Structure 1
Amino acid sequence: MGIDTMEVDRDVTGYLQKQRTSAPQEFAQFYAKFEDLYDRKLWHQLTVAVEQFVAHPNSGPLLIPLYENFIIDWEKKMNQLSLVKFSTRASRQFQDPSQSLAFISQQADKLKDKPENKDAYVLATMEATHYKLLAGDLEGSKAAIDECEKILDELPGTETTINASFYRVSADYYKAKAAYPQYYHNALLYLSSVSLDDLSMLEKQERAYELALSALLGDGLYNFGELLQHPILDTLRTSPVDWLRQLLLCFNSGDLEGFDRISRTGDFAKQPLLHNSLPFLRQKVCLMTLMESVFKRSKEARGQMTFEEISKETQVHVEEVEHLVMKALSLGLIRGKIDEVDRRVAVSWVQPRVLDKDQIGTLKNRLTEWSGKVRERVVGLEADDAAKEVYVN
């Protein structure tokens, strides 16, 4: 369904007067204000009044009639970004997603060749893409996402509402494609563009659940400390899937025993995505355990890690240590060399990560140890200088 935007005679004043008496009492003052501002052609003030109307929690069922009988008459004089925001909210009132797509797409079409309204065009296009995804049009969705990403890169700045729409819909696209790393990054960017207070508890728990799964299943994702520190993850504490949050903590800290314990539970077995990926998850947690093991060591200790030490800490057979280290090197998780003769590994660098409190404590202890060694060295040099001075004298 599309809305007919051809120039027609509309009894705008009659519609507003009728709504003022027939609509729920809580909206009567809005319609009276609309009529007054419309008659005086105060378009900016009228736009603000419409925004206040839309913000009312019970205004949803009234939005489509308001557009068809009122806003369509002066929409060209309305701030176009505000118009798209209105259309976004109104599009949710249709029961059929194809009607929602037609309604919001018409706004995008009107803005396509208007350079001064690129931000509004991006918002309308991304909201239309949301309905394309619901219809299973992945190809059309990807084309729209790529187009809007290019526009956003060229804009000097945008409202957080536009960024939130772009990252939310992009995340939904990558979820549909089972592209876990891309979903993870876009979903986190979406959360950085919205206030958690604006999301329902159910939506927060669903987003946390999907982020946790993508962090675990994402190939190349070995640093999800940012998710662990995000307050949205705490919403899982009161849910039946709190075990998933605990599993993330096991990966981040290299807790192999904790991983084995959770992976044997019925809850884990009931999650086919994880259960069917157990070999991949096992290798991933071993790699993260190796990273944690390197991180905890001093610079000197990193340069002489034996195969036996690595085997013990990562719980892989000593004959598989070389393969594990080579995997970590190829992924860029660590840098170093393998001495096959002496069966040692010298690590010169480990991939930076967002640290939890325990890991920060480890870093603090290492800095304290380093500071103590520097102090001892300085004291030793001063003692040597003093001894030399006495000798010369």
Structure 2
Amino acid sequence: MQVDLDIASYLSQQKTKYPEFKDIFAQFETLYDQKLWHQLTVALEKLLANPKSHSLLIPLYNNFVKDWESKMNQISLVKFVSLTSVQLGDHKKALEFLTPFATKLKGDDSAKDAYVLISTEIARNKLLSGDLEGCKTNIEECEKILDSLPGTDPVINAGFYRVSSDYFKATMGYPQYYHNALLFLSSVSLDDLTVQEKQERAFELCMSALLGEGLYNFGELLMHPILNTLQGSSYAWLRELLFFYNSGNMEGFEKTSKSGEFLRQPLLVSALPFLRQKLCLMTLVESVFKRSKEERGRLSFADISKETRVAFDEVEHLVMKALSLGLIKGSIDEVDSIVSVTWVQPRVLDKNQIGHIGKRIEEWSLKVSQQVIGLESQESFTSVFAQ
């Protein structure tokens, strides 16, 4: 088979026009002529890996890829057309370009993963063009398909969680953003993200952790390396603030909440009463967590008031709030002003908290050793007495 004259002419022109890609266009000619579609797809992906080639994608599709796209691996095709759609520079034009591909893939049970991948790209363009409802519809459809698949490529998960987190960011769904953004980070390598994108993600995760209803454990985020990208930046204080929450550091919070950096964040300033209540609840949980099983059985209102800085007559309300949120389980003795905690919500622990557990284990081990020595001494004494 000879290369189609139009295609041969196009590829030949590209070799002359773009000498830096001369070898790869020559490879295109050979592989296309030999009908080696897999190898041709691999060569195309090699070209895509070079950002300088992205301006060539629209004519490359129209004059070359379009001719043999049906022979391509469907995931590879979706990656190519998604990247090509970005070069159109208009989200509505991108939607017009991508939708026919999605329509073809939708009825193919063997290409569900490819359909999800292109649907998430369509959802992203809908979001950026202001169609929040359309974006939500695509996300919900993709979620159902992903739930039905036994396993998926990380790139598909990354695409889904990226657009999901961006949607919840746009709709101010802080808890949903928090969870989806962390799942996105678990699907990609941080090395593939720019410094700016890592810092933006870290900032948004911190904000959603603070403002999100029901988010009372930041351990997973505190241990994630993306948070370190804020160190040395103008948002380093936000990272520190999360650690203050996690350890129940009231002084640190009060100092930060009066700083100029904090006051320049209107979302945080307007939510200050909520943030204070959240800190009190997290301080209560941390206080319970640090205590032994015996100590948890008799927590006085006075101790709770002192550690959380809540007025004595408001302690009962705070504890009831913690109980209703499922942060702790137990009971309140109003007569004796005592709280008995039987369970505390499992937590992802930071290094300091792990160190605290280690210390408690050492203390427990010492007590056990002392008891064993005591029993051995008692047995020895009994044996001598019996003789």
Same fold, TM-score > 0.5, yes or no: yes
CA RMSD of aligned residues (A): 1.3
Q: Secondary structure at the match of 1:336?
A: strand
1:385 Cα offset (Å): 3.1
1:115 Cα offset (Å): 0.8
Match in the other structure for 1:110 = 104
| Distance across 2 between alignment mates of 1:28 and 1:99 | 30
Q: Secondary structure at the match of 1:345?
A: strand
> Residue by residue, what CA displacement relative to the aligned partner does 1:126-166 show, whole Å, maximum 9, x if unpaired?
01110010112122211211111111112121111111001
| Distance across 2 between alignment mates of 1:45 and 1:376 | 70
The correspondence of residues 324-343 of structure 1 with structure 2, limited to 5 A, is 324-343=318-337
| Distance across 2 between alignment mates of 1:389 and 1:329 | 53
1:387 Cα offset (Å): 3.6
Return the letter of the residue paired with 1:50: L
Q: TM-score, normalised on structure 1?
A: 0.95
1:60 Cα offset (Å): 0.7
Match in the other structure for 1:15 = 10
| Distance across 2 between alignment mates of 1:92 and 1:65 | 13
Q: Secondary structure at the match of 1:104?
A: helix
> Residue by residue, what CA displacement relative to the aligned partner does 1:20-70 show, whole Å, maximum 9, x if unpaired?
212x21111121111111111111111111111111120011001100111
The correspondence of residues 134-283 of structure 1 with structure 2, limited to 5 A, is 134-283=128-277
Return the letter of the residue paired with 2:9: G
Q: Which moved more, 1:207-216 or 1:30-39?
A: 30-39
1:391 Cα offset (Å): 4.1
Q: Which moved more, 1:376-385 or 1:206-215?
A: 376-385
Match in the other structure for 2:41 = 47
Match in the other structure for 2:55 = 61
CA contact (8 A) 1:174 1:183 kept: yes
Q: Secondary structure at the match of 2:172?
A: coil
The correspondence of residues 297-376 of structure 1 with structure 2, limited to 5 A, is 297-376=291-370
1:225 Cα offset (Å): 0.9
| Distance across 2 between alignment mates of 1:25 and 1:104 | 30
Q: Percent identity?
A: 62
| Distance across 2 between alignment mates of 1:323 and 1:283 | 11
1:272 Cα offset (Å): 0.8
| Distance across 2 between alignment mates of 1:256 and 1:102 | 53
| Distance across 2 between alignment mates of 1:132 and 1:359 | 43
Q: Which moved more, 1:292-301 or 1:9-18?
A: 9-18
1:10 Cα offset (Å): 8.0
Return the letter of the residue paired with 1:20: K
| Distance across 1 between alignment mates of 2:308 and 2:68 | 67
Match in the other structure for 1:3 = none
Q: Secondary structure at the match of 1:59?
A: helix
| Distance across 2 between alignment mates of 1:10 and 1:331 | 70
- List gaps (5 residues or longer) in structure 2: none
Q: Secondary structure at the match of 2:321?
A: helix
Match in the other structure for 1:28 = 22
| Distance across 2 between alignment mates of 1:134 and 1:208 | 21
- List gaps (5 residues or longer) in structure 1: 1-8
Q: Secondary structure at the match of 1:354?
A: coil
| Distance across 1 between alignment mates of 2:378 and 2:334 | 42
1:104 Cα offset (Å): 2.1
Count matched residues: 384
